[in-house]
Amino acid sequence: MGDSIERVGVVGSGLMGSGIAEVCARAGLDVVVVEIDGAAARRGRERVESSLATAVRRSKLAKEDAEAAMARLRYETGLAALVDRDLVVEAIVEDESAKVETFRALDGIVESEHALIASNTSSIPIMKLATVTSRPEQVVGLHFFNPVPVLKLVELVTSLMTSGETVEKATAFATQTLGKRVIRSQDRAGFIVNALLVPYLLSAVRMLESGFATRDDIDAGMLEGCAHPMGPLALSDLIGLDTMKAVAESLYDEFKEPLYAPPPLLLRMVEAGLLGRKSGRGFYEYTGR
């Protein structure tokens, strides 16, 4: 298998897709980002520009390096633009059917016999995505964490079909090219981090829902009592309540454990569009998002 990853494709330019595109461009790679339409592509570009500007303002990045990174980014509105990519990272909504269709389409578009197709899914088993392609041995999970330019961790998730060559290539890409810390997970819903984190967050939602404690006291308890950098309800807002719901449902579908089931309060908030920071209101209210 060819070892060089120089041309990267990213499908989706939300918080995660934009972050992945940014770190790849900052690492000197040629990056094509695909969005559903021109408006979404513009929002994705603006998101990266804002992130780079913040890094420059905080003296984390030189202005010329930020400009060079933007010059390596190209935004398109069709998957056909990914035909020549060495690696494509899918970073769309956390919905199994949407991801399956994206992987099926990418398999017919990406031409290189050495190319890897990766998912940034936070919970969906990689085997479900790999089996709709003709190259399941080259499908892998690369789960980044938000904000991608800041957090060093990447979960590398392999299915039963993922080849050793793919593991080596994906690991080298994440560690050597992007400077990330890789941890390995078996192909189980939620992987390592969310299998541990999501039950904790759901417990906080249930505690609030039952009237056991207030929002502020729940978060203060973990901030001051356990030295967590963020309370569970504030963290839920940062992750996105729709994403939390999707991850919880994937975990419950796989393991059938009650602790993984999304509580009614979470379901109602998602139905109401109260998704956290991304919508301006969740457990907290946000301005200037």
Q: What is the token pair recorded at 183?
A: 């941890």
The backbone torsions φ and ψ at residue 166, rounded to the nearest 5 degrees and listed phi first, read -65, -40
Q: What is the token pair recorded at 129?
A: 């995505």
Three-class SS state of 74 = strand
* Residue 8 backbone class (left: φ over 0; alpha: ψ -120 to 50; beta: rest): beta
Helix (H) or strand (E) holding 9: strand 7-11
In the chain, the DSSP E strands lie at 7-11, 30-34, 73-76, 87-90, 116-119, 139-144, 153-157, 181-185
Residues 59 and 287: their CA atoms lie apart, in Å, by 25
Q: What residues form DSSP beta bridges with 139?
A: 117
Residues 245 and 239: their CA atoms lie apart, in Å, by 10
Catalytic residues: 122, 143, 155, 194
DSSP-derived secondary structure letter, 276: B
User: H helices of 110-240, where?
Assistant: 126-130, 164-172, 193-209, 215-225, 232-239
Q: What does the buried/exposed string (b/e) look like for 230-240 if buried means 16 or more CB atoms within 10 Å of the residue's CB?
A: ebbbbbbbbbb
